[in-house]
Amino acid sequence: MSFFQNKIVPRMLGIAAAAAFGLWVFIEVAEQVLEGETGSFDRAVLLALRMRGNPVHALGPVWMEGVARDITALGSIPVLSLFVIIVALFLILVRRWWTAFFVLLSTAGGIAVTFLLKHVFGRARPDLFPHGDIVVSASFPSGHAMISALVYLTLGALVTGLTTSRTIKAYVMLVALGLTAIVGASRVYLGVHWPTDVLAGWAAGAVWALAWWTLVELARIRAGGVK
């Protein structure tokens, strides 16, 4: 059966197009940040999420910041690493050795790239009001946004490969995208990241996940479609 009949080529083209768009978004945002052109936008968004006249307090009920910290933990390295290890062990148990290796390597590589980018850009954290969470690294790009994007999108892609139902595939990817979105949004709400940090993190994480998906697709083609 040809590649076109298997819809492999169209899928590969779609992945490549999405990756190219994500890379373009990251580059555009990074350039604007380096040139200092995002300051007014970033400040306006952060202050819009705080109480007028008293930016120490975030908008919403007093318990909202606690909820935001709980949500932001879903993008932390310890929580995401736990998810990845659980999935990798499951894959090993069902003898999907290469897929387990792919998940572990893509995640470890993504974390390393995230901190490399933080070191290169060295952007300072927001200083408009006290942070709502503990921070220990540079601001750009958002590590929570980038790593949650690459992990949740990668795991989502693995799950969708287990079903032929379009409804289930759409649901799984919506969940993956939703988790990525709320983790990034929580970083801005807590005041620990500029909005452009999160946007760049989402873009970079998606590009990283898509790049690894491409490698997997190429490996499947060489193996004659074997997963």
Residue 164 domain-assigned (yes or no): yes
Number of separate domains in the chain: 1
Give the per-residue SS3 of 70-131. HHHHHHCHHHHHHHHHHHHHHHHHCCCHHHHHHHHHHHHHHHHHHHHHHHHHCCCCCCCCCC
- Show Cβ contacts of residue 4 under 8 Å, excluding neighbours closer than 6 positions: 10
Q: How many CB atoms are located within 10 Å of the residue 192 CB? A: 20
What share of the chain in percent tops pLDDT 70? 90
Q: Which of 1-10, 19-28, 204-213 has the lowest mean pLDDT?
A: 1-10
Asked whether residue 21 is domain-assigned, the answer is yes
User: Is the four-CA dihedral 35, 148, 8, 105 of positive or negative sign?
Assistant: positive
Inter-residue contact 127 to 184 (CB < 8 Å): no
Residues 6+ apart with CB under 8 A from 188: 45, 46, 49, 194, 195, 198
Structural domain of 199 = 8-222
Rg from Cα positions in the chain: 19
Is 88 within a domain? yes
Answer yes or no: is 2 within a domain.
no
Q: How far is CA 137 from CA 56, 119, 134, 143, 215, in A?
A: 22, 9, 10, 9, 30
pLDDT tens digits along 40-92: 999 999 999 988 888 888 888 989 999 999 999 999 999 999 999 999 999 99
pLDDT > 80? residue 220? no
194 contact partners, CB below 8 Å, separation of at least 6: 38, 42, 46, 123, 126, 139, 140, 188
In a domain, 24, yes or no: yes
For the chain, the average pLDDT equals 88
Q: What mean pLDDT comes out for the span 199-210?
A: 95
Over 50: is that where the pLDDT of 32 sits?
A: yes
- Within a domain: 122: yes
Q: How confident is the model at residue 8 (pLDDT cuts 50, 70, 90)?
A: low
Kindly state whether residue 90 falls inside one of the protein's structural domains.
Answer: yes
- Which is higher by pLDDT, 6 or 148? 148
Q: How confident is the model at residue 221 (pLDDT cuts 50, 70, 90)?
A: low
pLDDT over 50 (residue 163): yes
In a domain, 1, yes or no: no
